[in-house]
Homo-oligomer: A and B are copies of this chain.
Amino acid sequence: MKVAIVGVGLIGGSAALVLRQKGLASHIIGVEASPAHAAKAIELGIVDEVLPLPEAIAQSEVVILAVPVDSAIDVLLPVLDLVTTQVVMDMGSTKAQIIDAVAAHPNRGRFVAAHPMWGTEFSGPEAATVYAYAGKAAIICNASDSDADALATAEQLLKNIGMYLVYMDAHDHDVHTAYISHISHITSFALANTVLEKEKEEQAIFELASAGFESTVRLAKSNPDMWVPIFRQNRDNVLDVLNEHIAQLRKFKACLEKENWDYLRELIGNANNIKRILK
């Protein structure tokens, strides 16, 4: 199978490495706006060649979009203008806007809206890793809007890289990911800013940072080029969850201010219920 990957950073580069390692792609063509990333992707053997978008599409059976979610919409429309029998799949973290943007396109059926739920706090082709995707959920949104053969190809590809499939309406997807992914990034960014603002002794952070701190602040290293567009597209849902999160933090604040240790114990006991869901 010949595959074009638009955007050979962390997400697209990792997809290329996994597809090649598993023998799923015979030839991988990169499409990349950054000359530095393009050169690096070739140097690292992530892609076989880098071509302009029209040539890449013409020579491929599957086109994977792995660019920030705002660019994905800008790229998907011209891609759909050019496709004939190709399957086009995106990998973005938001789904409602991209699906709405192409709803009326005559080639809508060639597009499969996917969100493989894998990522790290790093970015760029150097961050691409073959240890990606396996064992994680791949969400496919509004599957019935895709042509049956396009959907089957995308499903098989995602299963072949070790993912399990979850089907969801695009708007539900954006609500769920606001809870389960996007808010974690905001809390982590805000926690990093809190500590950087208050703790002027960087040596103390370095020496004392516990595993607990490192795990809660890890996501704060994530790239704004990826995350600003996600927050922008999922603004309403993220605001809703963020308001609830601030309200929950205010409960902890009230416990401390009023020295209400019984209620603090209750809040922590309730938080412990996350054990029921996540082992």
B-binding residues in A (CB < 8 A): 117-121, 136-137, 139, 166, 176-177, 179-181, 183-199, 201-202, 204-224, 227-228, 231-232, 235, 238-246, 248-253, 255-257, 259, 261, 264-265, 267-278
A245 neighbours in B (Cβ, 8 Å): 190-191, 194, 249
Q: Taking CB as reference atom, which chain B residue is nearest A255? A: B231
Secondary structure class of chain A's binding surface, majority of residues: helix
A268 neighbours in B (Cβ, 8 Å): 189, 222, 224, 227-228
Closest A-B pairs by Cβ, 6 of them: A189-B271, A192-B271, A224-B268, A192-B274, A190-B248, A184-B216
Q: Are B136 and A210 in contact (CB under 8 A)?
A: yes
A239 neighbours in B (Cβ, 8 Å): 253, 256-257
How far is A220 from B271 in the complex, measured between Cα atoms in Å?
6
Q: Are A180 and B208 in contact (CB under 8 A)?
A: yes
A197 neighbours in B (Cβ, 8 Å): 244, 248
- A221 partner, pick from B238, B242, B248, B274, beta carbons under 8 A: B274
- A232 partner, pick from B184, B217, B261, beta carbons under 8 A: B261
Q: Are B166 and A278 in contact (CB under 8 A)?
A: no
How far is A205 from B252 in the complex, measured between Cα atoms in Å?
23
Rounded to whole Å, the gap between the CB of A47 and the closest CB of chain B is: 25
A221 neighbours in B (Cβ, 8 Å): 272, 274-275
Q: Taking CB as reference atom, which chain B residue is nearest A262? A: B228
Rounded to whole Å, the gap between the CB of A260 and the closest CB of chain B is: 11
- A252 partner, pick from B186, B218, B267, B278, beta carbons under 8 A: B186
A166 neighbours in B (Cβ, 8 Å): 207-208
Q: Are B242 and A117 in contact (CB under 8 A)?
A: no
- A180 partner, pick from B118, B195, B274, B278, beta carbons under 8 A: B195
| Given A208-B139, A224-B268: A191 touches B187 (CB 8 Å cut-off) | yes
